[in-house]
Amino acid sequence: MYDIIGDVHGQAVLLKDLLKRMGYAALDGVYRHPERKAIFVGDFINRGPKIKETLQVVRSMVENDSALAILGNHEVNALFYSLLDKQGKHLSKKWSRLRMDLNPTLSEFESNKPLWKDYVGWLRTLPMYIELDGIRVVHACWQDDNIELLKANMTEPKLRKKFLQIIGKNNSPIAKAFWETCKGIDFQLPKDLLIFDNEGCAHRSFRSRWWESPESKTFGELSFESRFSLPAYQIPPEIVAKRAPYGDNEPIVFFGHYCMKGSENIIKPNLCCLDSCVSRKGKLTAYRWSGEKQLMSENLFS
């Protein structure tokens, strides 16, 4: 069965400690378990002190069949920054903003840029989601319509530049499906409504609970892992985009992305967020799944 591991963000020491605690051992430089396989939910890079080593651990496990891995939004952003078109231009017009987040990763590879290029090539081979018998793994959000669009459009074994250029334009249904899958569903506020955080910064959107319908919810009830308080009055129906909730009888979904520091990882019996905010002095968390239909807190490792 599978051990699903949350966002690592360059914390190679914690990752190795967690793997050892879960019964994995380094054999010929590859962490293996005699009976189980790991699944990484994405966001291996950026922020932490040992990004290169983290990539080496994850990649070696994937290439030696002791793990599976999907792309997180940080890896996707790395692709948009690092890949150039035929004119030598970045695939994203927001490349300078992407560079800011990528600085820790690029700094570690400054002395060996060909190695970084090699890792970028490997990242292009990773999927956006995994669907197995009984569980689903995605970085931020599982919406059936989005997954079906990705299935129909991502049929190559490698992410092509032409496909990423389409995604980068951000004005098509496939682009929407792509970004919501790896970044979640942000609730967009109307132009005449702003929300201010504790530092006085204005926000026009907030992260929402993608598994619930926003209808009849207050702003606070729909918010998920927003770093500022939201008003406790009902969202006006005219600004609500309808979506179907994730059913209680649907397969278990494991995801990361949302910094759940000090919060419960198991949200519902079939929903588990494994990002325990390791990059902000939180924990690195995994769930040991052995075929159960409902999640159990005793199967969490941190």
pLDDT digit string, tens, across residues 101-121: 899 999 999 999 999 999 999
3-state SS of 123-150 is HCCCCCEEECCCEEEECCCCCHHHHHHH
Tell me: the pLDDT tens digits for 189-242?
877 777 777 677 888 888 999 999 999 999 889 999 767 777 788 888 888 888
Residues spanned by the domain of 233: 186-242
- Which of 199, 219, 242 is the last residue in one of the domains? 242
Contact call for residues 213 and 244 (beta carbons, < 8 A): yes
Domain count, the chain: 2
Count of CB atoms situated within 10 Å of the CB of 72: 30
Is a pLDDT exceeding 70 seen at residue 164?
yes
Contact call for residues 82 and 115 (beta carbons, < 8 A): no
CATH assignment of the domain containing 73: 3.60.21.10
How large is the average pLDDT for residues 66-73?
A: 98
- Do both 10 and 71 map to the same domain? yes
- Do both 287 and 228 map to the same domain? no
Six token digits for residue 127:
């999927």
Q: How far apart are CA 182 and CA 245, in angstroms?
A: 18
Stated pTM of the model: 0.95
Q: How far apart are CA 287 and CA 254, in angstroms?
A: 9
- Do both 253 and 222 map to the same domain? no
Give residue 226's pLDDT.
67
Is a pLDDT exceeding 80 seen at residue 26?
yes
Give residue 269's pLDDT.
98
- Do both 42 and 103 map to the same domain? yes
32: nearest Cα among 22, 44, 40, 41: 22
- Do both 266 and 288 map to the same domain? yes
Beta bridge partners of 139: none
